[in-house]
Structure 1
Amino acid sequence: MSKLKAVAICLPFVCALTIPAHATTIVVSNTNDSGPGSLRQALVIANNGDTIDARGVSGAITLTSGELLVNTSVTINGAGANVLAVDGNMVGRGFRIVSSGLTVTISGFTIRNGHAGTTGGGIDNENNASVTVNSCTISGNSAGLGGGIFNGGTLTIADSTVSGNSASTGGGTYNDGAGTETITNSTFSGNVATPSGGGIFNINTLVLTNSTLSGNSAGFGSGIYNLGTVQIGDTVLNMSAISSSGTVTSLGYNLSSDNGGGFLTGPGDQINTNPLLGPLQNNGGPTLTHALLAGSPGINTGDPNFMPPPSFDQRGPGFDRVVSGRIDKGSFEVQAGGTPTPTPSATATATATSTPTVTSTPLATPRPTPVPRLQPSPRPRPTPPA
């Protein structure tokens, strides 16, 4: 047989071996911690490019056998942050992204009551993956570094609320020396750190736009503690101070209840001004928000050149991002007719399954933890909790 014929015969087999399998959708059908139909089982069998669909499930997935491990590039869709929760039961974190180079999207969940003695109580992305968090609530989690989320790769947070998390450093999120964090149309509220970075602790690159930080607390940098580079625009900072030995650049049109650390000197910036925010509550949509109350200086004072996207405020469809011809500051847009009357907050509650339901417990005090690293350095991967 000639070499040409041999190559011609072999080529089809080579092609067959190199064509990737078609991406599939794996349906989650119950709130069990493990076993057939569970979210954990879906993550075990998922291949790169697959979608995990939990939109037909409501209640709480209470984790009793450790954190959820994400080993592939996958999209994980929940039924809504006000419908479906992943509950760490205060014995382990929610999700851990295991490998570098992965691309992971998590949408439509509440991730709550996760705990890690080291990094990332709610979500741990310490291995240089790309993680997107859409329309989620990250709440009541605790860790040494990054009570809500620890990021050592690329993190995008959109249309989400990060609230009531605690850590030694970075109560809401901790953006490590190799991390890039982008936050838009989101709320950081009531996060706590001792000593620094109540809302956000940043070592590398942080971009924060059209968001609201309110009532976060820490000894230093109750809102943001920065050792790297921060860009901030169209954002409300209420009782959430900026402390920085790095670089902070105002993109303009921010509103701060204090002096903004002296960094908010861009066009349209307002400092030492009460933003007149409502409490964190259900103002419509799947996540809790702080409404701009009547007379708020944040109404119709955002960037006059703003053009969608995003087309909606944090609450999603039905809540236009631009009303009356000009965007509001922060993650909340006052709609025609004014701020809505508050409605009772929807809470994801467990459905009857073979796994007993565990209700949310008070946030545990963070365990003693390592001093935050000021430069990226390799770390041994935390052993999954038993």
Structure 2
Amino acid sequence: MGQEFPCTEQGIRDAIVEGGGPHTFACDGPTRLMTESEIVVDHDVTLDGASRLTVDGGGAHLVLSVAEGVDAELRGFTVTNGDGGIRNMGTLTVTHCTVSGNYRLGVGGGLSNAGTMMLVGTTVAENTAEDQGGGIFNSYGTLVVTNTTVSGTIYAEGGPGENVVAVVASVGTVVRGEPGSSPGCFGTPQDIGPNEWVSDGYNIEVGGDSCGFDATGDQINLSAEALNLGPLADNGGPTMTHALGAGSVAIDWIPEADCVDADGQPVTTDQRGQPRPETDGTICDVGAFEVQA
């Protein structure tokens, strides 16, 4: 059973030690926590920031990591200003979160995954890495991306053999590469194998055809103007999102019957908690943001 912990860095650490959950935090309102060191998730736990908690690495250290063998879920957090945002070696579900403004000298500015990671209704934006994967670096892991917006590159690496393949599967997701420099997805087919990128449909890639989006409803090689994705901003929700502008090709694209997560369950809200599809509609938008009538 979940408990409520103090709205502090130590409160998060204590919730992790307690394990289980979902654990919440007694925040009076939107709260930014400046962390003194990396938060290590080394117990099976669900942490619910209720879209009020921003965890800030101060530009000095990785914000959060999940240890090998651990099964964790992060809900409603903003992870920012770290020497990398999140590194996962276990099994991690990231739901209705924003990972933004992180910088890594090596790989994986926003997210680095070497285990199993599920992103649901999440925004990954404005992260950078000097090497590969400014948005997401998936190394020998499985990455499942659902109704998520990734503004920045996704890089996958694996190797020969059936047990060391990097797999990226996505549905209802927007991938926009770093403007003027990179395609949305990277990887080396001869190293990773033919199943490197797996699409379950209704994804969008801007500026190229690098993500293997070839299923029903996928749109590739689109212009930024066609997507009309707004800047990362406060769009009326508790966490920062990219709004869809008027006429965006992402609006009203996914039939309600196909607006589901990786387990085939209906997705009924966007990252902000707004109805998906919108109240009077029967077709969902692509990405983490659902335009309301």
Task: Note the 1:82-97 alignment, pairs <5 A.
Answer: 83-97=52-66
For residue 214 of structure 1, the aligned residue among 169, 172, 176 is: 176
Code of the aligned partner of 2:18: A
SS state at 1:39 partner: helix
CA 1:123–1:303: 2 relative to 1, 3 Å: same
Alignment partner, residue 40 of structure 1: 13
* Cα distance, 1:141 vs structure 2: 1.3
TM-score by length of 1: 0.63
Task: Note the 1:255-334 alignment, pairs <5 A.
Answer: 255-258=219-222, 274-303=226-255, 306-308=258-260, 309-320=266-277, 324-334=281-291
Task: Note the 1:299-378 alignment, pairs <5 A.
Answer: 299-303=251-255, 306-308=258-260, 309-320=266-277, 324-336=281-293
CA 1:159–1:145: 2 relative to 1, 3 Å: same
For residue 48 of structure 2, the aligned residue among 67, 70, 77 is: 77
CA 1:150–1:307: 2 relative to 1, 3 Å: closer
Is residue 28 of structure 1 aligned with residue 5 of structure 2?
A: yes
* Cα distance, 1:273 vs structure 2: 7.8
CA 1:292–1:42: 2 relative to 1, 3 Å: closer
Task: Note the 1:101-112 alignment, pairs <5 A.
Answer: 101-112=69-80
* Cα distance, 1:251 vs structure 2: 1.7
For residue 224 of structure 1, the aligned residue among 182, 185, 189 is: 185
Number of residue pairs aligned between Structure 1 and Structure 2: 270
Is residue 182 of structure 1 aligned with residue 144 of structure 2?
A: yes
CA 1:288–1:243: 2 relative to 1, 3 Å: same
CA–CA separation in structure 2 for the residues paired with 1:330 and 1:110: 17
What's the RMSD between the two structures over aligned residues?
Answer: 2.7
* Cα distance, 1:292 vs structure 2: 3.1
| Structure with more relative contact order (C-alpha pairs < 8 Å, separation 6 or more) | 1
Is residue 137 of structure 1 aligned with residue 137 of structure 2?
A: no
Identity %: 32
CA 1:322–1:176: 2 relative to 1, 3 Å: farther
> Larger radius of gyration, structure 1 or 2?
1
Is residue 234 of structure 1 aligned with residue 202 of structure 2?
A: yes
CA 1:51–1:210: 2 relative to 1, 3 Å: same
CA 1:321–1:142: 2 relative to 1, 3 Å: same
CA 1:142–1:304: 2 relative to 1, 3 Å: same
SS state at 2:258 partner: coil
CA 1:114–1:255: 2 relative to 1, 3 Å: same
Alignment partner, residue 201 of structure 1: 155
Q: Does structure 2 conserve the Cα–Cα contact (< 8 Å) formed by 1:135 and 1:286? A: no
CA–CA separation in structure 2 for the residues paired with 1:218 and 1:28: 44
Unaligned runs of 5+ in 2: 158-165, 261-265
Output one character per residue of 1:281-301: Cα deviation in whole Å (capped at 9) or x when no partner.
333323333333333333334
CA–CA separation in structure 1 for the residues paired with 2:233 and 2:209: 24
CA–CA separation in structure 2 for the residues paired with 1:272 and 1:217: 9
SS state at 2:269 partner: coil
Q: Does structure 2 conserve the Cα–Cα contact (< 8 Å) formed by 1:26 and 1:46? A: no
CA–CA separation in structure 2 for the residues paired with 1:163 and 1:288: 10
Output one character per residue of 1:81-100: Cα deviation in whole Å (capped at 9) or x when no partner.
xx2111111111111112x2
Q: Does structure 1 conserve the Cα–Cα contact (< 8 Å) formed by 2:172 and 2:259? A: no
Task: Note the 1:5-24 alignment, pairs <5 A.
Answer: 24=1
CA 1:52–1:273: 2 relative to 1, 3 Å: closer
SS state at 2:15 partner: helix
Displacement over 6 Å in runs of 4+: none
Alignment partner, residue 63 of structure 1: 35
CA–CA separation in structure 1 for the residues paired with 2:281 and 2:3: 43
* Cα distance, 1:257 vs structure 2: 4.5
* Cα distance, 1:323 vs structure 2: 5.3
Code of the aligned partner of 2:218: N
CA–CA separation in structure 2 for the residues paired with 1:85 and 1:290: 17
